[in-house]
Amino acid sequence: MNAVPELSTFDRLEQATATEVLQWGLEKFGNSLAIATAFQAEGMVILDIAARISPSVRVFTLDTGRLPNQTYDMMEMVRARYGVTVETVSPDAAEVEAMVARHGPNLFYGTVPLRNLCCEIRKVRPLERKLGELEAWVTGLRREQHESRSEVRKVAASRGKVKISPLADWSTEQVQAYVREHDVPMHPLYEAGYRSIGCAPCTRAVQPGEDDRAGRWWWELDSSKECGIHFTPEGKAERKLDVLLSEVLEARRA
């Protein structure tokens, strides 16, 4: 297994272009690298760049069981356009069953810790299992997306793996320009005013003047607009999540 590169390599890659960063990742990690995407604009741009470097690049998505139908259409679009079979990663069915039995199917509307629990079961834990197969993974994070992402690095160590965010320093305009220039397939929900697309019940179109993340968990006014994949909830929400998760896992084992 490849060793995690020295920090000096990470620092050097901060000055590299998105193509150069992906080229480095694909050469270093080969089939032990995969792109994680929900088929939003950033993920599709990354996929397009990577497919030009290596048509056999691996791509996976987290199928939470609550995705909009248009996201499944994008999986087929990727297959048709790039010849890539998207690897789908699903939550543990028994964990979902135990969570829903205890808190109901729409628990995420209740409290921030309950929403974090749903994300933990449906997204974070499945991702952890998938990362067990990999040495490196690629995300579409950009610093401009939200203040919580303002210090995202292009290459960093995360969850014991190398996390690559080749578009970290791109603006929205750069993403849109690449999409137009290369005719990159776009998620149909963008035409309906969506800017950040996740699970169907937890995502809405944004209003004029709102940032791209405003449509995610819009009923939460003061909480972090993150699911726990990229940033861990802090403070009381995290401690409450630990309790809720332990209760669900105990019920799953019963």
Put the strands of the sheet holding 161-164 in their side by side order.
Answer: 87-89, 58-62, 33-36, 136-138, 161-164, 155-158
User: How many angstroms separate the CA atoms of 250 and 172, rounded?
Assistant: 44
Q: Which of 115, 124, 116, 48 is nearest to 89 (CA)?
A: 124
Q: Which residue has the tokens 């056999």?
A: 56
The radius of gyration of the chain from alpha carbons, rounded to an integer in Å, stands at 18
H or E element at residue 88: strand 87-89
40: region left, alpha or beta (phi > 0 left; psi from -120 to 50 alpha): beta
User: Is 227 marked active-site?
Assistant: yes
User: How many angstroms separate the CA atoms of 69 and 142, rounded?
Assistant: 26
Locate 223 and state its tokens. 């909480």
Length of the chain: 254
Residues with a catalytic annotation lie at: 227
